[in-house]
Structure 1
Amino acid sequence: MPLFLPFTDTEITTLLSPRAGEQKLGQTLQAFADPISTADQYVAELQQAKNQGVRFVIIGIGEDIGPRANLGRGGADDAFNATMAQLLNLQSNRFLSGEQLLVAGQLDTTAIASESDLTTASLRNEVEKLDELVINAVTPVFEAGLEPIIIGGGHNNAYGLLTAAKQACGKKVAAVNLDPHSDFRPREGRHSGNGFSYAAASGALGFYHVLGLHELKNSEATFAQLEAFGGSWHSLQSIWIRQEVSLNHAIDEVVGKLNSTQLPVAIELDVDAISKMPSSASTAAGIPLMDALRYVYRVANETSAHYLHLAEAAPKCHVAGVEAGYKEVGQSMSELIYAYIQGRQACQYLG
């Protein structure tokens, strides 16, 4: 079975809107010439891309079984396509050359059962299979010295990403997560609400901080479990409502903690933190997109960030319909990706 669904020049051409006198990212970025069917081929292609100047590898995960296994809404399976439709048509210029980007494509999840009539227990079993698929796809990216940018799917995929980073780096990973939910729920079977608790139990997660945690969207049992691990948080209410601490000061604290661990850093973002963003758990009481961009940029710029994970975007959940959802998700995700790349390009971290 191919590791990725085809995303070659043919697929790029269908999404690209060229304009005379302009050069779009879709005209300069790299993609695999042929579908990846073996592990050796994948490793060789990644090394070739690195030799040609690639630094960032964009990978889509088209699934929503994690949120549904968490008794939530589906729809997180189409964020990659929405993002590519916008990202490929941004300008390739002095600020960002597409030559630094490899779009690997979307993981082939066709072997993962996702039928709407599956029981919760069955969905959770399928999430475990998805974990292995994510680990196998992302570990070689880290081993090649490249930085993955993961788009789409539920936040359950944080477990596979953290595990892959630990396997490749030989160290536990320090994660910061902009999210109203801690996703540190009991280990009752894999789903989108316990990726970090499973990663902590497996030894992949060495440090964990939640930024923008909603004080009433996390159970007391979850708070107790997070505290027992040594996790920390700044709540949504403390920053944006009570204004006990500014966003920049909160990020200062987080950056200091991350750097003190001397561990590889994972930047996690559940887009349901962003106000009215179409997602599996959309919220009116969210934060501005500009603040999310600031978070991504600063952590990428000031720590040993190894990857960016943008989870839970669900275009079909937009209140105005799928077309509006595609546009909003595509534009927002593209801006978040660029914020990460900007931060990494000018990284100040010297540890």
Structure 2
Amino acid sequence: IQHNRFCKGSQILILGTLDVTALNQQADSLQFSETADRKTFHTLVSEIDKEVSHILSLIVKSGKIPIVIGGGHNNAYGNIKGTALAKGKPINAINLDAHSDFRILEGRHSGNGFSYAFEEGFLKKYFIFGLHESYTSKNVLDKLKSLKERVLYNTYDALNIRREKEFRLEMQIAIDFIKSDAYGVEIDLDSLPMVPTSAMTPSGFSVEEVRQFVYFFGKHPQAAYLHICEGAPALDFETNKHMVGKLIGYLVTDFIKAKNSLD
């Protein structure tokens, strides 16, 4: 991308990459179907949690705004915990996602980052934007309903299929719910159609809608971080592997422009 008056490279620091090579090597020898191996998987994810939360805490304490590019959505837990620790109180989160990632506390994985953060007191309020109705279990829906004072959601089906809800109005409802405290902006790329992820979908929000979403929620003083996760270029066609990175580049610069508009 270009350094110009719309987005200046001098405003961006590139910290680097969290090296999980050794953990991946341990995981390569494990079988998820084996109970003992699943427990080891959970332990490995917990090790990543510690690193992510520590790094996020240091960045936020320094007065900078983290932009985290993953990796799996398991890192939402570390993002939330690290930011909450830096600020000395729980934070809120808005998650654009086909899934709730609010599954049971059975050991850490990518499907329960928010439920663990909620249970441990780091996540105060949580809004799930664009949940896919056909891929959310009854147990999760019942759980979300029981927590409606602190956890709200809308569904992609209500927004873009049945047209019962309007995109812009729903964004306003969501920000009114979370803006009383610092909040994280979470973007799971499996909410966009045909973007290579571990849970790729043929149906989802357009790139333009997601870019508008990032800009809208970034353009508020309480937006504390941006997390873009689950992109998997290795699953794309050989000639298109750069496209995931280009998509992420648009979302990153939209967020930076939103934050700069507050100055």
Q: TM-score range by the shorter chain?
A: over 0.9
- Tell me the equivalent position of 2:193: 275
1:203-218 aligned within 5 A: 203-218=121-136
1:113, distance to aligned residue in structure 2 (A): 4.1
User: Equivalent of 2:106, from 184, 188, 207?
Assistant: 188
- Tell me the equivalent position of 1:168: 86
Per-residue CA distance 1:55-96 (angstroms, 9 max, x = gap)? xxxxxxxxxxxxxxxxxxxxxxxxxxxxxxxxxxx1101111
SS of alignment partner, residue 295 of structure 1: helix
1:235 to 2:155 alignment: yes
Q: 2-side partners of 1:228 and 1:170: how far apart?
A: 27
Q: 1-side partners of 2:175 and 2:129: how far apart?
A: 12
Per-residue CA distance 1:245-286 (angstroms, 9 max, x = gap)? 111111011111122xx2111000100001111111110011
SS of alignment partner, residue 302 of structure 1: coil
RMSD over aligned CA atoms reads 1.3
Query: Structure 1 residues 277 and 125, CA, compared in 2 at 3 Å: closer, same or farther?
Result: same
Q: 2-side partners of 1:173 and 1:315: how far apart?
A: 31
- Tell me the equivalent position of 1:224: 142
- Tell me the equivalent position of 1:315: 233
Kept after mapping to 2: 8 A contact 1:181/1:217: yes
Q: Which runs of at least 4 in structure 1 moved beyond 4 Å after TM superposition?
A: none
1:1-351 aligned within 5 A: 90-114=1-25, 115-118=27-30, 119-230=37-148, 231-259=151-179, 262-302=180-220, 304-318=222-236, 320-321=237-238, 323-324=239-240, 326-347=241-262
Q: 2-side partners of 1:97 and 1:346: how far apart?
A: 13
Gaps of 5+ in 2: 31-36
Gaps of 5+ in 1: 1-89
Q: 1-side partners of 2:167 and 2:160: how far apart?
A: 8
Per-residue CA distance 1:145-202 (angstroms, 9 max, x = gap)? 1000000111000001100011000121110000010000001110000000000000
Report the TM-score, using the length of structure 1 for normalisation: 0.70
Q: 2-side partners of 1:216 and 1:283: how far apart?
A: 12
- Tell me the equivalent position of 1:53: none
Q: 2-side partners of 1:113 and 1:94: how far apart?
A: 41
Per-residue CA distance 1:223-260 (angstroms, 9 max, x = gap)? 1222333311110001111111111111011111122x
1:343, distance to aligned residue in structure 2 (A): 1.0
Q: 1-side partners of 2:145 and 2:79: how far apart?
A: 23
Aligned residues: 254
Report the TM-score, using the length of structure 2 for normalisation: 0.93
Q: 2-side partners of 1:330 and 1:210: how far apart?
A: 24
Kept after mapping to 2: 8 A contact 1:183/1:197: yes
Q: 1-side partners of 2:235 and 2:198: how far apart?
A: 7
